[in-house]
Amino acid sequence: MKVLVTGGLGFIGSHTVVELQNSGFDVIIIDNLSNASIDVMDGIVSITGKTPIFEKLDLKDKAEVQQFFKSNEDISGVIHFAASKAVGESVENPLLYYENNINSLVYIIQEVKKLERCNFIFSSSCTVYGQADSMPISESAPIKPAESPYGNTKQIGETIIKDVCKIKESFNAIALRYFNPIGAHKSANIGELPIGVPQNLVPYITQTAAGIRKELSVFGDNYPTNDGTCIRDYIHVVDIAKAHVIALQRLLDFKNDTNFEVFNLGTGTGSSVLEVIQSFERVSNQKLNYKIVNRREGDVISAYADTKKANTVLGWKAESSLDDAMLSAWKWQQKL
């Protein structure tokens, strides 16, 4: 079966391509290479022994998207990762985010909708919950006003898909709300490739340990948590990738309960920034250079998933521990 993976050379996309190919799917990757390297293909091939089809295509180009689907009417499912994802950049340049993340989604859905049966998996984020009123956060928690244009594109994206599902019964979609994806494939042949200074905690930690950054700044230690630092649900990217294969199979097997479903992808365990640092120090056997600085604007205090629905309805459970994920991230950094 042919599956289209947009943004398939990105961090989560590339790991998902590996899991799809390992499960017997034929993969077509669309990527405009704006935030990914073509070298990621080599990593995918070295792990799976299979070369996915690659099309360099910008999903903001409506005519090109139409042309692509005209030549690929036999696609069984679409996993849509392609999007800009830097929270700070989205505040600086909101229109770029609305154009990249919303226009492309609309163009692709317009074409997918023409297929006989459409199976669509959407990359969403726990950012849609904002600072939730209680922990863990279940899928029924209210959607809070978005903190950033990036977060808003995820909320709007889900709404667009839901609205299309309402008017077209054969359009089947699953939105997967990721908590904090970290780590890399165990082979260390693919992983996260942040451009410039990393904004996220784990690549900043590994780059500091590798000597690329002088020290990690821990943003605030006076939050109302056990050790004063923020709590997140860090989940191994390979676990996230596997959830996409399971979600797609659910749609292919007609097992979905409704034609628009939402699942949290997290471990269910919250870890503080200091606990992540301790995990890194444990698995790498070295001390990390860090200092406590002021809070970062826009950070929520705590966010971790209620995973019941994903565990029981989707039939997926995160398998890797925080230490597994940190070790894989460190191995990837060393290889880089």
Of residues 180, 264, 267, 307, which one binds ligand UFG by CB under 6 A? 180
The shares of helix, strand and coil residues in the chain, as percent rounded to the nearest 5, are 40, 20, 40
Give least dist CB 219 to ligand UFG, A.
Answer: 4
Q: Which stretches of the chain are DSSP H helices? A: 11-22, 40-48, 62-70, 87-92, 94-97, 104-112, 149-167, 201-209, 237-252, 273-284, 308-309, 322-335
d(CA 211, CA 201): 15
- Nearer to ligand UFG by C-beta: 98 or 313? 98
Instruction: Check residue 200 for interaction with ligand UFG (CB under 6 A).
Output: yes
- Nearer to ligand UFG by C-beta: 52 or 151? 151
Give least dist CB 214 to ligand UFG, A.
Answer: 12
- Nearer to ligand UFG by C-beta: 108 or 128? 128
Distance (Å) of CA 125 to CA 7, 111, 146, 266:
16, 24, 11, 10
Are the CB atoms for 5 and 75 separated by under 8 Å? no
Half-sphere exposure of residue 52, counting CA atoms within 13 Å on the CB side? Answer: 39
Instruction: Check residue 236 for interaction with ligand UFG (CB under 6 A).
Output: no
- Nearer to ligand UFG by C-beta: 16 or 127? 127
Instruction: Check residue 216 for interaction with ligand UFG (CB under 6 A).
Output: yes
Give least dist CB 299 to ligand UFG, A.
Answer: 4
Catalytic residue from among 97, 150, 178, 223: 150
150 noted as active-site residue: yes
- Contact set with ligand UFG (CB under 6 A): 85, 87, 125-127, 150-151, 180, 199-201, 204, 216-219, 230, 232, 273, 296, 299, 303
